[in-house]
Amino acid sequence: MTDRSDKYSNKYKLSISNPKVFDAVKMGISILIGLTISFVILIFVSNNPVNAIITILTGPLTKTRYIGGVIQSFIPYAFAGLSAGVLFKAGAFNMGSEGVFILSGVVITAIATSPITTSSILHPILCYLGAIVFGGTVMILPSLLKAKFNTNEMVVSLMLNSVYAGVAAYLVRTFLGTVQRGSNSSKDYLLTAKIGNIYEPLKISVCLFLLIAVTIILYLVMTKSRLGYQIRLAGTNPSFANYSGINAFKLSITTAAIAGVLSAMGATTALLTQTSYYTPSQSLVGIGFSGMLLAMLGRNNPIGIVIAAFLVKYLEQGSQILYFVDNKVPSEIIAIIEGVIIMLVSSQYFLRRFRERKLLEEGLEEHAE
Amino acid sequence: MLNNIIETIFSMRFLLQVIRLATPIIFASIGAFVAASCGIGNIAIESIMTFAALAGIIGSYLSGSAWVGVIVAVIVGMLTALLITFFSMRLGADPFLIMIALNTFADAVAIFILFQFTGEKGSSASLATKSLGVIDIPIIKDIPIIGEIFSGQYVLTYVCWILVILTFIVLYKTPLGMRMRACGLNADAAKTAGINVERLQKLSLALSGLFAALGGAYLSINYLKIFTKGMVSGQGWMGVAANGIANGNYLSLILSAIIFSFFRAVSIIFSSNSSFPTDLVGAIPYLSVFIILTVVSIVNYYRIKRGKVEEQ
């Protein structure tokens, strides 16, 4: 028999029977399988597959500007991932993040191109505030329809994404465009609106600290607060949540608003740090959708999502460097690696038998003692 | 100018356009419907169509035969569907997550494969591929109006309408279809009645993959005769939406699919008229799906509330 202290030590035991260790091992094996499959593909595609896989894995470390590029570009994706993570945790399949990114880009551009203030601190803050209010509101619509009328939120949000893309393109063309860039893109942002880097070589800006702060707050809200508990409960067992008196309608609206705010923050960060003008058909396309994949990779845990965003952008940077070296391998190879990893990581039973055998062995050993 | 547009909408050319545009959406719709009637929401239709469209073009390029292309497309579509069942049934993953992942990666994976054959990321224009043509039905083609509608359509359009009828017969008139629908209505009860639920769900998802694949093959081999990046552009999702509106009613499924293709045709006509903002006109089909889906769900909500219909 085990006493209390034994059970406590079990929590930190470095064995596959410990769920946390098991998760880490599973993630590691999934990544290995993903890389192996991509290596097999590289054998067929590339003349020098060994070199190619090494370039993907270590390429970004070879120059500071590469790693700086990763640091700068991963932040908006991390925000998108956090946004999707909150929704998935609540069991909501609202995919409006993509639309929020593209449409709030218009709001950000409108604020960033108008001389409403001369302060270079206040101007970006105003951009963030405008986007947050707008993005939070826009994101609510599919969830509201779902909660009230049981409309299919997934289809609605996807269709709205396409509508928003058209609206954003129209608004930029008619009101914010400039003939110099063929009217598809906006005018240049005012210098006061742009966010500079604190440490130039690694492209570290205030936004990195904003992301860290938001991640910590979100982590605390999700694990320690009443709202976080309600969200998790609604995600794991909606009917129990309902019977325990949680207002499902209010909760789904709140969740969507939080997700919208996070996406809007991502959009603002992307535009103010990376570009000086907005092209609706280009600038922010795909970030919202990638967020869902990052949420799956990070198992809906805010900290896990941010790490996943960094690693994915790192691999993407590596594959882009590879394309420079070996133009037979398009950077889309990364999609295959990511796809395999995500599908394996979301599989509950993957490696389960392995763990069960270990548990059984340990149980027998304990019994023998 | 408005007269001009109304005149176009009531013209024969427009009707033919709607028929051509309806084919992939109807394929997608019956794909979503077959899976849903067995209790699985297949939201991967969009990605299956993308993979199949590409596989069809490559199959047709390698073999020199358009029909081999169609067969390759169908095999790839069914394999993709079975990949979903492998992850969801064997490995215990949430099927929705697997399908979302598939949809998100579909374009990038397709571009990667396309690049290996063409060296381009945009389209398969540089590949010499065979494509399917149209069928002229003897006698009927000489009848005025009717001849134009029923004859001279694309090959896969005929396949599509035959499958619409066949699917209806199988689902509603055969024991197999009844068992499949039983799984969708109450999987536990079906299990108790001795039905192998898992096997039927696999079958229905494979069928769903087959229909979606034919939709993709129609786009690449039959209609546009080329594979281009992002060519499916939400048509798979329109199928999913049509299934959501139908809510188990086969007739309204087909009707919704036709209405969606009507709005796609409208959007194409408006965009050829330069006096409208093209960005907004391009959004018309998606906006129409959004509005119809929302209105239908609101109407259903109030019907359930008033107690006219039992909640499902």
Chain B contact present for A338, CB below 8 A: yes
**Please, which residues 117-156 of chain B have a Cβ atom closer than 8 Å to chain A?**
121
Quick check: A347 and B234 CB within 8 A?
Answer: no
What is the mean pLDDT of the segment spanning A89-109? Answer: 92
Using a pLDDT cut of 70, give the percent of chain A over it. 96
Closest residue in A to B108 (Cα–Cα)? A332
Greater pLDDT, A25 or A137:
A137
Closest residue in A to B300 (Cα–Cα)? A149
For the cut 90, the answer to whether the pLDDT of residue A160 exceeds it is yes
| Shortest Cα–Cα distance, A345 to chain B (Å) | 9
Average pLDDT taken over every residue of chain A: 86
| B174 SS3 class | coil
Tokens 């996070």: give the residue.
A262
In the numeric block, which tokens belong to residue B15? Answer: 């009707």
Quick check: B92 and A349 CB within 8 A?
Answer: yes
The H or E element containing residue B135 is: strand B134-135
Q: What was the pLDDT predicted at A286?
A: 87
Give A145's contacts in chain B (Cβ within 8 Å).
294, 297
The CA-atom distances, in angstroms, between A304 and each of A158, A264, A300, B277 are: 26, 20, 7, 43
| Shortest Cα–Cα distance, A292 to chain B (Å) | 8
Helix segments in B64-154, DSSP class H:
66-85, 95-118, 144-150
Asked if A102 and A164 touch (Cβ cutoff 8 Å), the reply is: yes
In the numeric block, which tokens belong to residue B158? Answer: 């005929």
User: Among A83-87, B212-216, B306-310, which stretch is predicted with the lowest mean pLDDT?
Assistant: B306-310
Residues 6+ apart with CB under 8 A from A36: none
CA distance A190 to A193: 6
| Per-range mean pLDDT, top range of A45-49, B129-133, B272-276, B296-300 | B296-300
Quick check: B109 and A332 CB within 8 A?
Answer: yes
Q: What was the pLDDT predicted at B308?
A: 64
For the cut 60, the answer to whether the pLDDT of residue A8 exceeds it is no
Asked if A333 and B112 touch (Cβ cutoff 8 Å), the reply is: yes
State residue A283 phi and psi, 5-degree precision.
-50, -50
For the cut 60, the answer to whether the pLDDT of residue A221 exceeds it is yes
Q: What's the pTM?
A: 0.89
Positive or negative, the CA dihedral B185, B186, B191, B196 is positive
For the cut 90, the answer to whether the pLDDT of residue A305 exceeds it is yes
Per-residue pLDDT band at A196 (split at 50, 70, 90)? confident
Helix B284-305 and helix B250-272: axis angle, to 10°? 150
Residue type at A98?
E
In the numeric block, which tokens belong to residue A243? Answer: 């019977």
Asked if A268 and A136 touch (Cβ cutoff 8 Å), the reply is: no
In the numeric block, which tokens belong to residue A235? Answer: 């995600």
Chain B contact present for A333, CB below 8 A: yes
User: Among A3-17, A313-327, B93-107, B172-186, which stretch is predicted with the lowest mean pLDDT?
Assistant: A3-17
CA distance B160 to B173: 19
Per-residue pLDDT band at A10 (split at 50, 70, 90)? low
Greater pLDDT, A19 or B224:
B224
A138, A159, A315, best to mutate vs chain B, most B CBs in 10 Å: A159
Tokens 């551009």: give the residue.
A109
* Tens of pLDDT, residues A315-358: 989 988 888 887 778 888 888 888 888 888 888 777 777 777 87
Asked if B44 and B102 touch (Cβ cutoff 8 Å), the reply is: yes
Q: What was the pLDDT predicted at A256?
A: 94
Per this entry, what is the length of chain B? 312
* Tens of pLDDT, residues A254-283: 999 999 999 999 999 999 998 888 988 888
Chain A contact present for B5, CB below 8 A: no
How far is CA A276 from its chain centroid?
A: 23
Helix A248-274 and helix A226-236: axis angle, to 10°? 110
Asked if A318 and A57 touch (Cβ cutoff 8 Å), the reply is: yes
Helix A287-297 and helix A97-113: axis angle, to 10°? 130
Give B241's contacts in chain A (Cβ within 8 Å).
152, 155, 159
For the cut 80, the answer to whether the pLDDT of residue B216 exceeds it is yes
CA distance A247 to B241: 28
**Please, which residues 273-302 of chain A have a Cβ atom closer than 8 Å to chain B?**
289-290, 292-293, 296
* Tens of pLDDT, residues B29-75: 999 999 999 988 899 999 999 999 999 999 999 988 889 999 999 99
The residue ranges of every structural domain in chain A are: 64-331
**Please, which residues 18-47 of chain B have a Cβ atom closer than 8 Å to chain A?**
43
Per-residue pLDDT band at A9 (split at 50, 70, 90)? low
Nearest to B32 by CA among B50, B18, B46, B21: B46
CA distance A157 to A138: 10
A87, A89, A95, A154, best to mutate vs chain B, most B CBs in 10 Å: A154
For the cut 60, the answer to whether the pLDDT of residue A14 exceeds it is yes
Other Cβ atoms within 10 Å of B68 Cβ, number: 16
CA distance A316 to A310: 10
Other Cβ atoms within 10 Å of A36 Cβ, number: 13
ipTM value for the complex: 0.86
Nearest to A104 by CA among A82, A80, A71, A72: A80
Per-residue pLDDT band at B260 (split at 50, 70, 90)? very high
DSSP assignment letter at B139:
G
DSSP assignment letter at A121:
T
Give A80's contacts in chain B (Cβ within 8 Å).
none
Burial (CB count within 10 angstroms: exposed 0-12, middle 13-18, buried 19+), residue B14: middle
Quick check: A293 and B104 CB within 8 A?
Answer: yes
Tokens 């719709």: give the residue.
B29
Per-residue pLDDT band at B168 (split at 50, 70, 90)? very high
CA atoms within a 13 Å half-sphere pointing along the CA-CB vector of A340? 17
For the cut 90, the answer to whether the pLDDT of residue B274 exceeds it is no
Nearest to B31 by CA among B176, B197, B214: B214
Quick check: A346 and B87 CB within 8 A?
Answer: yes
Asked if B247 and B309 touch (Cβ cutoff 8 Å), the reply is: no
Average pLDDT taken over every residue of chain B: 88
Phi-psi label, residue B13: left if phi above 0, alpha if psi -120 to 50, beta otherwise: alpha
CA distance A20 to A304: 13
For the cut 80, the answer to whether the pLDDT of residue A91 exceeds it is yes
Helix A49-58 and helix A302-325: axis angle, to 10°? 140
Per this entry, what is the length of chain A? 369
For the cut 50, the answer to whether the pLDDT of residue A2 exceeds it is no
| Shortest Cα–Cα distance, A290 to chain B (Å) | 7
Asked if B278 and A150 touch (Cβ cutoff 8 Å), the reply is: no
How far is CA B21 from its chain centroid?
A: 11
For the cut 70, the answer to whether the pLDDT of residue B8 exceeds it is yes
What is the mean pLDDT of the segment spanning A44-61? Answer: 85
For the cut 90, the answer to whether the pLDDT of residue A102 exceeds it is yes
The CA-atom distances, in angstroms, between A49 and each of A43, A291, B114 are: 5, 30, 20
> What is the CATH architecture of A64-331?
Orthogonal Bundle (1.10)
What is the mean pLDDT of the segment spanning A213-236? Answer: 91
Q: What was the pLDDT predicted at A3?
A: 47
Quick check: A343 and B290 CB within 8 A?
Answer: no
State residue B100 phi and psi, 5-degree precision.
-60, -45
